[in-house]
Structure 1
């Protein structure tokens, strides 16, 4: 895929963020490398439409503005650096493997907390805002509505709720070292860079974002964080090194089902930004990326087996409460009656809110079930 235009420039984005905030201190400039790789890939490969380029200019400017605001907040409140978030687990199976259900289920436990959708979008308090974060929540609702207007079918792929637990990778987006970008755009060169990069500084910044969120709600100090994103498969060792108390909860489902499902989601997202979307290329891309990620995951797991917990997709669908209680025990927490009640209540709400099943076939994305079974046999033989 070739570019139709080049309107994104790193210097322009940095200037726009400074103008937007009136701030100029970004801190350590390590982020300029991933930002530069991403911008080049967006210009050269993504075939952004005029609307897509405008949306990405706003998005990247907003992410940079948050970096400026984070540094300003840390200078104004040095006590933030003393906050100690404890991450109990990162859920990081392949996409479309029941990880969202497990994440939101566990997040309902009175012993755990998670990143909420509205605060991953607006993690920093607005000037004069009260503890209820009313303005940020209102904007998050508006943003969700606008998103669903652009992708009306997305709700059939992934339950969207501005006030529900959401992936912490949205915080990592502000480091420009995130699988989010290749899930919304055709940027294979960026994907190559991401999987060869040392992501330790991005995860150090994720820790800082958790500090900020916990500082805003001190009651979280008594809770442990339960986080989730398939992005973490690109840096499993780094996750374990950054969060010393963290386990990896790995959700498992046949890649012959999971990969085409994710390709369908990516196609849906990419069409917001580009008028030229090659579904077969998307299918092949994610099949190859996930096979490589699972091979790397297997090597890490062999070296640090005590840090992993397994959850199978069928079990999550058949006995979600029992699975959540089992995982909670595996994380060193003793489930109580309040945990069981919270899990049962969430399952009931989820069944009421669940959208119609999304229909797709592997062939729509240049794939076949037989080939996927062959390509992922090393994984399925071990974990399914």
Structure 2
């Protein structure tokens, strides 16, 4: 926090509620994550930058109080287990001229730089450089998840600035933080997510469209999503956990290897299998209370008939698709075919899992939704 103050020349972090998640996370990193020297330096730099953004957010709100009056409408949060087709669906829906979405460069740098023009060229350049560095640190990651610096990206990266985020136990082995996150009241974090969306809208007066957002993190706070964004529906993507859980474990192994030399694939697999089973159990309870707020999409349908699925989802959101949407969807699918799509091989046993165990642990989910 002192480094962030020195970096920005600002002192006001606003409400200090974030100190609890930050303290829990830092303690977990120091005692559990087995950070490498480079991982330690990268993390320290990242946390300083996130805290600096908190300072800049409060300064921007003080100097431009009208930003707090910006009306934010979230039409949908796309979520499901990771590796269930949510990224394809998100990027496809985001192509619609009826909606807007968080972009990769702006979740990395949401606050305008001093003296920056409307085109945000400095932030876009920084985002490209940052993505190139990430690709060097995790060369296999692009085979698991295509990242485009100016394309739609998960809004959970805005939540990172609250230190209440699934990002952290995905990039680090921090099980005590993960346990804390499951039981935490996330409403202050979602209040701030709304504030970040206000900032993004305020920067572009043409951006008053409904938001279509996406992250599996939102499975951990379904009721809070609904309370924060009254118009929002949850678009739930479904795929067999037999595929989704080992696939995500493979992704976590690739991400966490840049921060620690002690990456245990069995620990990763067992952690995320337990975590997702508990999350889906909790999700079922939240869903039963407000069933009209959910839209179900199956992975196989997203892959085999993406245009039809995109049109159906827009209809469910009260935004019927027209010719302009169809043209935008077709254009995105053409672009998507040219982006990098590698392959990676893995089996459940690589992560200490078995098909029998996954069948058993997720039977309650598979019997209802698959």
Is the shorter-chain TM-score for this pair beyond 0.5, marking a shared fold? yes
Q: Say yes or no: does 1:309 pair with 2:309.
A: no
| 1:36 corresponds to | 23
TM norm structure 1: 0.96
State the secondary structure of the residue aligned to 2:131: helix
Displacement of 1:352 in angstroms is 2.1
Deviation at 1:349, TM superposition (A): 1.3
Q: Which residue of 1 aligns with 2:365?
A: 379
Pick from 107, 114, 121: which aligns with 2:94? 107
Which position in structure 2 is the counterpart of 1:357? Answer: 343
Alpha-carbon distance between aligned partners in 1 of 2:368 and 2:329, rounded to the nearest angstrom: 29
SS at match of 2:5: helix
Give the match for residue 277 of structure 1. 263
Q: Quote the residue 1:9 is aligned against.
A: none
What RMSD over aligned residues (CA atoms) do the two structures have, in Å? 0.6
Aligned to 2:218: 232
Moved over 3 A (4+): none
Counterpart of 1:4? Answer: none
Give the 3-state SS of the residue equivalent to 1:265 in structure 2: helix
Partner of 2:277: 291
CA–CA separation in structure 1 for the residues paired with 2:338 and 2:345: 20
In the TM superposition, what is the alpha-carbon distance from 1:301 to its structure 2 partner? 0.7
Provide, for residues 124-144 of structure 1, a one-character-per-residue CA deviation record: whole Å limited to 9, x for no partner. Answer: 000000111000000000000
CA-to-partner distance for each residue in 1:198-231, whole Å, 9 max, x for gaps?
A: 000000000000000000011111x110000000
Q: Do residues 214 (structure 1) and 197 (structure 2) align?
A: no
Greater relative contact order (Cα < 8 A, sep 6+): 2
2:6 corresponds to 1:16: no
Q: TM-score, normalised by structure 2?
A: 0.99
Return the offset for 1:356.
2.0
Task: Write the deviation string for residues 111-162 of structure 1: whole angstroms up to 9, x where unpaired.
Answer: 0000000000000000000111000000000000000000001000000110
Unpaired runs of at least 5, structure 2:
none
2:161 to 156, 162, 174: 174
Alignment correspondent of 1:343: 329
Extract unaligned runs of 5+ from structure 1: 1-13
Q: Which of residues 103, 126, 144 is equivalent to 1:116?
A: 103
Offset of residue 79 of structure 1: 0.4
For residues 45 and 342 of structure 2, the distance between their equivalents in structure 1, rounded to whole angstroms, comes to: 32
The match for 1:129 is: 116
The match for 2:126 is: 139
